[in-house]
């Protein structure tokens, strides 16, 4: 096995036997691949094997005979899908492209030199949808800060100017994506998680986690598909982040996989860079979305 | 089953590129990963029909299916930087992502999907319009051959696992086949697909294309 031909130069010799001898690793990989633990979540020892198997599963899935679809797309389907994907790209912008860790944006609604202001009348009736719409006119940093205040029922807010980011598409997308707001459970920090299943995207607002030293530990978000972490061995990695200052931080969620329907969000403390599988020893925040 | 063929509209025929591993195609997913909107549209025009066909068993409601297809392509974008042309064709890569989503949906919906009526009598590649739709590229053809040769328990087990997404334990419980045998059917079936794909890739690399 080995040769682990990651980029496997090669036309030959990955040395994978396909005899009938059961191979523990193969069996494990096949199991992981068919049961959905493969490809981009890693069961570390056999990631490459899993990937190989999962691709085989994908090929077989595509090749399996199935009936002609009697459901056909409605007009403009392809264009709508393209727009959504492109909207998502805009949403995440540069932070994903470079593959860096999440940027932590610190809300500055109440600090910093105010240069702009938004009156409450515009914002207050705002359920999320309205708030998001309003935010569309602002940069991400300002937008997030404003949203924080709006959702808390703040009356008026002043904003720091922010280098423009193409957030209109993002905000519109989140709004259209039916984002929901889920507060952190009692005993944890203040704040909540804004998340859209459809877009597989959102952000957290957190106030009350201790500052961390990123060389020692980092926070990591996990997104569970159900609401019982005990039964879910492989939640989706939602990205690592730092809390550098007291007060509220706003953290975009960088889900490494499609979540589907998020049931629960949990923040753990992990070693710098985060981990693939959390031991879940230090859970510091949980939000039950149900 | 099988109503008349219903090719997703706007799907065009472009998605089964005859030459899926040209430099351009290799670059396509890289461009997607880099956030190139043009590349997204290109991927859509090539693969939306495939993905639609893989997802359309989920619902009779085209909006619901579209929703899933949308999720899948968002995932494709998110995962695009992991694409390794030496491991799989684009179509296989995309189908792999699609399967995750489709099965995820099924599980969540709590539907124990027994896929469409089993079609064991129907030799793949014959009169199956669905199959013609999923005419992807060489690689899929290889997988299809392997699938076509499966019979009996192994076929049944693989279908429940690959297509329906049941866990190995569920399959054992459903079919009465011992768990160990279930696992070995799956492992061997998949190993065969893997080998085929690998042999195919090796041939390609040696200059067929």
- End residue of a domain, out of B94, B111, B128: B111
Q: What per-residue confidence (pLDDT) applies to B146? A: 85
Q: What angle do CA B49, B55, B56 make, to 5 degrees?
A: 85
Per-residue pLDDT tens over the stretch B173-194 = 999 999 889 988 998 888 888 8
Among A10, A50, A53, A66, which would you mutate to test the B interface (most chain B Cβ atoms within 10 Å of its Cβ)? A66
In this prediction, residue A92 has a pLDDT band, given cuts at 50, 70 and 90, of low
* Pairing outcome for strands A190-196 and A201-207: antiparallel
- End residue of a domain, out of B95, B111, B127: B111
Per-residue pLDDT tens over the stretch A174-187 = 667 778 888 888 77
Average per-residue pLDDT for chain A: 64
pLDDT exceeds 90 at position B118: no
Average per-residue pLDDT for chain B: 75
Comparing CB atoms, the residue among B57, B128, B136 nearest residue A62 is: B136
- End residue of a domain, out of B90, B111, B132: B111
Position B1 in a domain: no
Higher pLDDT, B151 or A29: B151
**Least confidently predicted of A71-80, A86-95, B187-196:** A86-95
Position A2 in a domain: no
Cα B55 from Cα B103, distance rounded (Å): 9
Per-residue pLDDT tens over the stretch B123-177 = 333 333 333 344 456 677 788 888 888 889 999 999 999 988 888 888 999 999 9
pLDDT exceeds 90 at position A145: no
Do A121 and A207 belong to one domain?
Answer: yes
How high is the ipTM of this complex?
A: 0.75
In this prediction, residue A228 has a pLDDT band, given cuts at 50, 70 and 90, of confident
Number of domains within chain B: 2
**Least confidently predicted of A88-92, A283-287, B110-114:** B110-114
Do A132 and A42 belong to one domain?
Answer: no
pLDDT exceeds 90 at position A231: no
Instruction: For residue A140, give its domain range.
Output: 85-288
Do A52 and A104 belong to one domain?
Answer: no
CB interface of B with A, residues 4-33, below 8 Å: 4-6, 8-11
Tell me, letter by letter, the H, E, C secondary structure of chain B.
CCCCCCCCCCCCCCCCCCCCCCHHHHHHHHHHHCCCHHHHHHHHHHHHHHHHHHHHHHCCCHHHHHHHHHHHHHHHHHHHHHCCCCCCCHHHHHHHHHHHHHHHHHHHHCCCCCCCCCCCCCCCCCCCHHHHHCCCCHHHHHHHHHHHHCCHHHHHHHHHHHHCCCCHHHHHHHHCCCHHHHHHHHHHHHHHHHHHHHHHHHHHHHHHC
Cα A244 from Cα A209, distance rounded (Å): 10
Do B99 and B139 belong to one domain?
Answer: no
Q: Which residue, A63, A81, A112, is CA-closest to B133?
A: A63
Position B124 in a domain: yes
Number of domains within chain A: 2
Do A38 and A141 belong to one domain?
Answer: no
Do B103 and B135 belong to one domain?
Answer: no
Do B128 and B206 belong to one domain?
Answer: yes
Instruction: For residue B189, give its domain range.
Output: 117-209
Assess A290–B contact: CB distance below 8 Å, yes or no: no
Per-residue pLDDT tens over the stretch B41-100 = 999 999 999 899 899 888 888 998 999 999 999 989 988 888 888 888 888 999 999 998
Do B130 and B62 belong to one domain?
Answer: no
Rounded to the nearest angstrom, the minimum Cα separation between B172 and chain A is: 13
Among A27, A64, A79, A258, which would you mutate to test the B interface (most chain B Cβ atoms within 10 Å of its Cβ)? A64
């Amino acid at each position: 096995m080995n040769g682990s031909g990651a980029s496997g130069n090669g036309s030959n010799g990955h040395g994978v036997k396909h005899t009938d001898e059961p191979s523990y690793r193969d069996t494990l990989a096949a199991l992981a691949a068919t049961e959905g633990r493969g490809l981009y979540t890693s069961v570390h020892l056999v990631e490459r094997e899993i990937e190989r198997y999962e691709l085989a599963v994908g090929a077989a899935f595509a090749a399996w005979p199935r009936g002609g679809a009697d459901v056909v797309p409605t007009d403009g389907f392809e264009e709508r899908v393209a727009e959504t994907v492109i909207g998502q790209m805009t949403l995440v912008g540069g932070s994903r492209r470079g593959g860096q860790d999440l940027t932590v944006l610190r809300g500055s609604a109440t600090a910093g030199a105010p240069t702009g202001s938004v009156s409450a009348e515009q914002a207050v009736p705002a359920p999320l949808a309205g708030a998001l719409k309003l935010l569309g006119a602002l940069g991400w940093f300002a937008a997030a800060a404003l949203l924080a205040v709006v959702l808390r029922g703040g009356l008026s807010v002043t904003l720091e100017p922010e280098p423009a980011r193409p957030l209109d598409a993002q905000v519109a997308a989140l709004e259209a994506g039916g984002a929901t707001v889920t507060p952190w459970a009692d005993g944890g920090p203040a704040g909540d998680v804004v998340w859209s299943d459809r877009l597989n995207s959102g952000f957290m607002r957190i106030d009350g986690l201790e500052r961390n030293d990123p060389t020692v530990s980092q926070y990591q978000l996990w997104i569970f598909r159900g609401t019982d972490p005990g039964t879910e061995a492989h939640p989706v990695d939602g990205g690592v982040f730092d809390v550098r200052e007291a007060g509220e931080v706003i953290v975009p969620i960088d889900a490494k996989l499609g979540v589907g329907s998020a049931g629960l969000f949990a923040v753990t403390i992990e070693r710098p860079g985060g981990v693939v599988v959390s031991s879940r020893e230090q859970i510091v925040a949980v939000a039950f979305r149900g | 089953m099988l109503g008349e063929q219903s090719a997703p509209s706007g799907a065009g025929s472009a998605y089964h590129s005859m030459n899926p591993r040209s430099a351009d195609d290799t670059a396509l997913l890289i461009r997607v990963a880099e956030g190139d909107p043009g590349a997204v549209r290109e991927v859509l025009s090539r693969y939306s029909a495939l993905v639609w066909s893989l997802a359309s068993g989920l619902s009779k409601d085209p909006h619901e299916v579209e929703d899933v297809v949308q999720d899948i392509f968002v995932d494709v974008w998110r995962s695009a930087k992991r694409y390794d042309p030496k491991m799989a064709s684009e179509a296989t890569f995309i189908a792999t992502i699609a399967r995750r989503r489709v099965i995820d949906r099924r599980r969540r919906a709590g539907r124990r999907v027994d896929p469409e009526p089993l079609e064991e009598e129907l030799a793949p590649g014959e009169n199956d319009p669905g199959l013609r739709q999923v005419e992807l590229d060489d690689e899929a053809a290889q997988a299809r051959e392997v699938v076509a040769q499966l019979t009996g328990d192994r076929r049944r087990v693989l279908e429940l696992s690959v297509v329906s997404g049941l866990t190995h334990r569920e399959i054992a419980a459903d079919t009465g086949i011992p768990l160990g045998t279930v696992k070995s059917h799956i492992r061997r079936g998949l190993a065969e697909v893997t080998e085929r794909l690998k042999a195919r890739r090796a041939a390609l690399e040696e200059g067929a294309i």
